Amino acid sequence: MIPAEAVARLRLARTDGIGPVTFRRLLGQHGSAAAALAALPRQAARRGAPLTLCPEGDALREMDALRRLGGQFIFAGEPPYPPLLDLQEDAPPVLAVLGDPAALAGRAVALVGARNASAAGRRIAEELAEQLAAAGLVVVSGLARGIDAAAHLGALRRGRTVAAVAGGLDQPYPPDHAGLQARIAAEGGAVVAEAPLGTAPLARHFPRRNRIVASLSLGVVVIEAAPRSGSLITARLALEAGRELFAVPGSPLDPRCRGSNDLIRQGAHLTESAADVLEHLPEAPRAIRLFEPPLAWSGAEPPAEFVVESHEPAGDATQVIDLLGTAPTAVDEVVRRCHLSPSAVQAILLDLELAGRVEMLPGNRVALTGQA
Amino acid sequence: MIPAEAVARLRLARTDGIGPVTFRRLLGQHGSAAAALAALPRQAARRGAPLTLCPEGDALREMDALRRLGGQFIFAGEPPYPPLLDLQEDAPPVLAVLGDPAALAGRAVALVGARNASAAGRRIAEELAEQLAAAGLVVVSGLARGIDAAAHLGALRRGRTVAAVAGGLDQPYPPDHAGLQARIAAEGGAVVAEAPLGTAPLARHFPRRNRIVASLSLGVVVIEAAPRSGSLITARLALEAGRELFAVPGSPLDPRCRGSNDLIRQGAHLTESAADVLEHLPEAPRAIRLFEPPLAWSGAEPPAEFVVESHEPAGDATQVIDLLGTAPTAVDEVVRRCHLSPSAVQAILLDLELAGRVEMLPGNRVALTGQA
C-alpha cells in the first residue's frame, strides 16, 4: 500500500462517526480511502450534515508514535491483516500491532475466563495453553488478570500468543501487565489494538476487544465464567461468528463455573485437555449465523419516551428515522417501507451515522444509537 | 400369596444354578414355584444332570431369621415388589426388605459416586438428595462410603431413601454403616438385598447391587466417578434399562471427576441442582435397549484354549454348546442352527444352566459361563 493511502485509511478510520461497516462501504464505493476522504466533505455539505475528518497531522503523528513504540499499522484486506478477522464485516479497518504480525496468520484458539479465577482455573488455563501451543496453535486472549494472563504465560513457554487489548497500545491494561505485553511482543507473539494510541481502556471498549479475540480464533475455550460475565459475551460472539465453542467444567459449588457449565449444557464441547480442543477445532469457521439482535450491539433498552429533540433532520431523513429502532433493522426493509431510492436511503444513513444518530451493522442492517 | 408358594419361591430362588431369567421362565412354564420344584428333579434325573434343590428347611430358617431381624420377603410380580424393578427380565425373584416396602413404590432417583469422594462432592450429594427428597422423590443409593452415604443422609432430612446392598441384610457393609442402615429402615425408608441372609458382600455381588440401584430409579445421578469405577457401571446399566442419566460436572484437575465429565460428554444431563434433575426426569423409563454384550454380564475374555473337559454332556447338548460362546447368543439363533425342536433346546439349556455351564440372559439370550 502506498504511504499516502495508508495515511488516508488511518484518517478515515479515526474520523468520528465512520464505523467499520461504513468504512468498508466507503472503500468499496470510492475505490480508496483517499478518494473517500476527498468526496465526504462535499457530500456532507450538500446535505448540511456535520462532518469533521480526522486531520492528516493527527494520523501522521499517531503513525510516528506507534513506530517509536516499535509497532506498525496493518489494514483490513491487506496482508498481514489476520485472515479470519478479515472475514468479519465489522472487522477493524486498521489495527495497531506490537510484535510479529506473522503470529496473526497462524491457526489460533482463544482462551478466556474469569479475572478473579481460582488457582485451579489458572493452572488449567496455563496447562491447556501450553499444550495447545505445543500442538502448533497460537493462543489468543485479552491480557486481563486471571485466566487471560495464565493462558498467555502458558503459551509463551511453548509457542506464540496473541493479545487483543481494549485501549491504545501505549496504555497496557491492567498497568501491571505492561511487562507481559512486552514479553508477548518480544517472544514472537503480537499485541493488537483497534483503539488509537492514547486511548484509556474504558468499559465500552471491551465488547470490541472481545469480538476481536473471538474473530482471530477458530474456537474459543471458556474457563471459569460467572453468569453474565464478559467471557460469556466473547462466547456468544464466537458462536455468532461461526467459531467452535469449548468450555471447561467445574464444581456446581463454585459460582465462577456456572457460566461455563451452562455453555456445556447449551452444546459447547466439554473440555478437560488439549485433546478435546484439537479433536473439534475446524479448519475454517462455519458459515456465519446472524442473531437478532447480536449481543455485541444490543445496548440498553430504548428509553420509555424516546423523543427526537435536537438537530432534527428534515423530510426524507425523518421518514427514515421513523422506520428505525435501537434493535437492528435491515436496510432493505427500510428501502421497501419508505418511498426513496436505495441510494438515497444509503446517503441518508451515512449522514445519520456521521452525526452519531445511527450505527451501521454487519448484514446490511442499521440501528438507532439513541443519541438525538 | 399362600405361605407354601412363598416358601417354594424362596427355595427356587435359592437353588444353585437357577438364575433370575430361568426363574421367570420356570414360573411361566409351571404356573407356580411349587409346581416347578416338583417337576425339576424328574427333569434333571431324565437327563442325568446334577441338581440339588434348596431344602425347605433352609428356606423356612431364612424366613424366620429375616422376620426376627424385622424384615420381610417380597416377590417379583406381587405387590409391594417395586414396579420399575419388575420391568427388568432379570430382576431378583425374591428381595429381602428391612423398613417400609411402600418406599419402593415411590418415584425414585438414584445418586451414586465415588467412595473416596471429596468434601465438596459429599456436600453436593447431600444437598442434591435433600432437594430431591423435598420435591417428593425417593433417593436410592448403595449404602457405600462417600457419595452413597451422603445421599442417604441428605434424603433422610426431608423424606424417604432406599438402600440396595450387596450382601445379606444381616451383614451391613461397610460395617460402620450398620447405624445408617437401621436409620433408613426406621425412618420410613427401606433397605433391600437380593443375597440370602448370612451372605458376606463380595466384589462379585456389587454388579447385581448396582443393577438394582439403577432399576429401582427413573434416573441415575453420578457425582464424582473415576474412569472404570463402579458408578460408571451403574450409569451404563441405567442406560441399558432406559433410565435417564445425569452427571455433576467437576474440575479436570480432579481424577474423581473424569468419569462423570465423560458421561456429560456422552450425553448425560449436566446437573448442578435438583432443578436439572426434575426438568429431565421422565414419568416412565424409555423402551429398553439391549447392548451386545450387556456390561453386567461381560466377564473376562474366554481363556485362549477353552476346552470342554469334564461332565461332558453327550449328543444334543454338545451340539448346543458348540453353538455358544461367552458372548451372549440369541436362543432363537441356536434353535435355527441346530436340528432340535425349540422345547428340546430349552430343556438342554436348563440342564446346562443347572450345571453352571451356561447363563440365561435377558432378551432370551444365553452365554457360556466358561465353567466346564
DSSP character at residue B86: H
Q: B145: distance to nearest CA of chain A, Å? A: 20
| Residue B152 confidence (pLDDT) above 80 | yes
In chain A, the residue whose alpha carbon lies closest to the alpha carbon of B274 is A252
Q: Does A253 sit within 8 Å of B249, measured CB to CB?
A: no
Q: Does B253 sit within 8 Å of A249, measured CB to CB?
A: no
Q: Does B270 sit within 8 Å of A249, measured CB to CB?
A: yes
Q: State the pLDDT at residue A323.
A: 82
Q: Does A250 sit within 8 Å of B249, measured CB to CB?
A: yes
Per-residue pLDDT of B184-234, as tens digits, reads 999 999 999 999 999 999 988 999 999 999 999 999 999 999 888 889 999
Report chain B's mean pLDDT, rounded to a whole number: 88
Q: B243: distance to nearest CA of chain A, Å? A: 19
How many other β-carbons are positioned within 10 Å of the β-carbon of residue B355? 21
DSSP character at residue B364: T
Q: State the pLDDT at residue B294.
A: 32
Q: Distance between CA atoms of B217 and B207, rounded to whole angstroms?
A: 16
Please give the full DSSP string across B139-192, using - where no structure is assigned.
Answer: EEE---TTHHHHHHHHHHHHS-EEEEESS-TTS-SSGGGHHHHHHHHHTT-EEE
Residue B245 bridge partners (DSSP) = B220
The C-alpha cell of B354 is what? 443347572
The SS3 call for residue A228 is coil
Which residues in B lie closer than 8 A to residue A273 (C-beta atoms)? 252
| Residue B116 confidence (pLDDT) above 50 | yes
The C-alpha cell of A47 is what? 446535505
Q: Does B251 sit within 8 Å of A120, measured CB to CB?
A: yes
> Which one-letter amino acid corresponds to residue B339?
H
Q: Distance between CA atoms of B121 and B147, rounded to whole angstroms?
A: 7
Q: B120 CB near a chain A CB, below 8 Å? A: yes
By Cβ distance, the residue of B253, B264, B272 closest to A124 is: B253
Q: In degrees, to the nearest 5, what angle opens at C-alpha B219 toward C-alphas B214 and B220? A: 60
Which residues in A lie closer than 8 A to residue B271 (C-beta atoms)? 252
Per-residue pLDDT of B76-91, as tens digits, reads 999 999 999 999 989 9
| Closest of A83, A22, A75 to residue A51, by C-alpha | A22
SS3 assignment for A190-223: EEEECCCCCCCCCHHHHHHHHHHHHHCCCEEEEE
Q: B341 CB near a chain A CB, below 8 Å? A: no
Q: B137: distance to nearest CA of chain A, Å? A: 21
The C-alpha cell of B339 is what? 436340528
| Residue B298 confidence (pLDDT) above 50 | no
A174-183, A231-240, B52-61, B120-129: which has the minimum mean pLDDT? A231-240
Residues of chain A predicted below pLDDT 70: 287-314, 372
Exposed / middle / buried, residue B277 (Cβ in 10 Å: 0-12, 13-18, 19+): buried
Q: A315 CB near a chain B CB, below 8 Å? A: no
State which H helix or E strand residue A348 sits in.
Answer: helix A342-354
Q: Does A252 sit within 8 Å of B248, measured CB to CB?
A: yes
Q: Distance between CA atoms of A45 and B282, rounded to whole angstroms?
A: 68
| Closest of A52, A85, A57, A60 to residue A242, by C-alpha | A85
SS3 assignment for A132-176: HHHCCCEEEECCCCCHHHHHHHHHHHHCCEEEEECCCCCCCCCHH
On whether the CB atoms of residues B296 and B237 are closer than 8 A, the answer is: yes
DSSP character at residue B315: T
On whether the CB atoms of residues A170 and A69 are closer than 8 A, the answer is: yes
Per-residue pLDDT of B265-274, as tens digits, reads 999 999 999 9
Q: State the pLDDT at residue B372.
A: 67
| Closest of A292, A295, A269 to residue A282, by C-alpha | A269
Q: Distance between CA atoms of A237 and A140, rounded to whole angstroms?
A: 15
If phi > 0 it is left, if psi is from -120 to 50 it is alpha, else beta; for residue A270 that is beta
If phi > 0 it is left, if psi is from -120 to 50 it is alpha, else beta; for residue A188 that is left
Find the mean pLDDT for residues B289-315. Answer: 35
Q: A190: distance to nearest CA of chain B, Å? A: 30
Q: Does B252 sit within 8 Å of A272, measured CB to CB?
A: yes
Which residues in A lie closer than 8 A to residue B261 (C-beta atoms)? 249, 270, 272
Q: State the pLDDT at residue A95.
A: 98
A window 236-265, beta carbon within 8 A of B = 248-253, 257-258, 261, 264-265
Q: How, if at all, do strands B190-193 and B94-99 pair?
A: antiparallel
Q: State the pLDDT at residue B304.
A: 28
By Cβ distance, the residue of A251, A269, A273 closest to B250 is: A251
Give the rounded percent of residues in chain B with a pLDDT score beyond 90.
66
pLDDT category at B96 given cuts 50, 70, 90 is: very high
Edge-to-edge order in the sheet of strand B108-113: B72-75, B94-99, B190-193, B161-165, B138-141, B108-113, B219-223, B244-248, B269-270
The answer to whether ipTM exceeds 0.90 is no
Q: Distance between CA atoms of B129 and B152, rounded to whole angstroms?
A: 7
Q: Does B272 sit within 8 Å of A258, measured CB to CB?
A: yes
B window 2-41, beta carbon within 8 A of A = none
Edge-to-edge order in the sheet of strand A138-141: A72-75, A94-99, A190-193, A161-165, A138-141, A108-113, A219-223, A244-248, A269-270
Q: A230: distance to nearest CA of chain B, Å? A: 21
Q: B119 CB near a chain A CB, below 8 Å? A: no
* A-B contacts (CB, under 8 Å): 51
SS3 assignment for B215-277: HCCCEEEEECCCCCCHHHHHHHHHHHCCCEEEEECCCCCCHHHHHHHHHHHCCCEECCCHHHH
